[in-house]
Chain A
Amino acid sequence: DAKTTQPTSMDCAEGRAANLPCNHSTISGNEYVYWYRQIHSQGPQYIIHGLKNNETNEMASLIITEDRKSSTLILPHATLRDTAVYYCIVRFGSGNTGKLIFGQGTTLQVKP
């Protein structure tokens, strides 16, 4: 049921920007894009979410294409602690019934 497509794995050099792509070509007009990450044996951690406009917070930036069919998560200066599985999720449903259906995610390996 996942509505997103992500590369299985990516590598990034420590200190460099990590750019994680996500395709969500069937996204509807009122569906948000969420990004979470999961470090081994922990619960998912919220990173950022957006609808149409690009978003930035203390952790990352989210760039959403104008047609909303794809997005990119940017970690500006990756550290070893950013090694994790990153999930791009389009929320399924709306309001209080909206739920997050996880795809396979991208395993990001930050290397020294």
Chain B
Amino acid sequence: GAVVSQHPSWVICKSGTSVKIECRSLDFQATTMFWYRQFPKQSLMLMATSNEGSKATYEQGVEKDKFLINHASLTLSTLTVTSAHPEDSSFYICSARNERFPPYGYTFGSGTRLTVV
């Protein structure tokens, strides 16, 4: 079946530094990927839609310059949290639209726990 690999699974960084999170679709190509953020005891909040070869589409209220998304290939999208601050600490999850393997639909990565100190 379709698998989405997310790396790293957790990261701790200092305030003011940037962190890159990778999301890879294994065994299938994903022209569209999605990035979510989840705070403790809350639901997933969609941050942006990542489109291969074009600019990402951000949801209202999400800072484009803060959360840089690159989708340079059909199997890889990256999210870079720039100049991270403690309030950016969260669980970040990516998802890829799978049209190759049943069940067709949306496959999620295992998430990245970001802690900014």
Which A residues have a C-beta under 8 Å from some C-beta of B? 34, 36, 38, 41-46, 48-49, 57, 87, 96-105
Contact = CB atoms under 8 A, between A and B. Distances in A.
A45 B111 CA distance: 12
Interface of B: 4, 6, 31-32, 34, 36, 43-46, 49, 91, 93, 95, 97, 103, 105-111, 113
A43 B111 contact: yes
A41 B38 CA distance: 10
B105 A99 contact: no
B114 to A, nearest CB: 13
Which DSSP category, helix, strand, loop or mixed, fits chain B's interface? strand
B34 A100 contact: yes
Contact of B108 (A44, A96, A98): A44
A59 to B, nearest CB: 10
A41 B43 CA distance: 12
A41 B6 CA distance: 13
B44 A34 contact: no
Contact of A102 (B32, B43, B97): B43
A104 B43 contact: yes
B69 to A, nearest CB: 14
20 contacts: A41-B91, A43-B6, A43-B110, A43-B111, A44-B93, A44-B95, A46-B103, A48-B103, A49-B105, A87-B43, A96-B97, A97-B49, A98-B97, A99-B34, A99-B49, A102-B36, A102-B43, A102-B44, A103-B43, A105-B43
Contacts of A102: 36, 43-46
A108 to B, nearest CB: 15
Given A41-B91, A43-B111, A100 B43 contact: no
B9 to A, nearest CB: 10
A42 B108 CA distance: 9
A33 B86 CA distance: 36
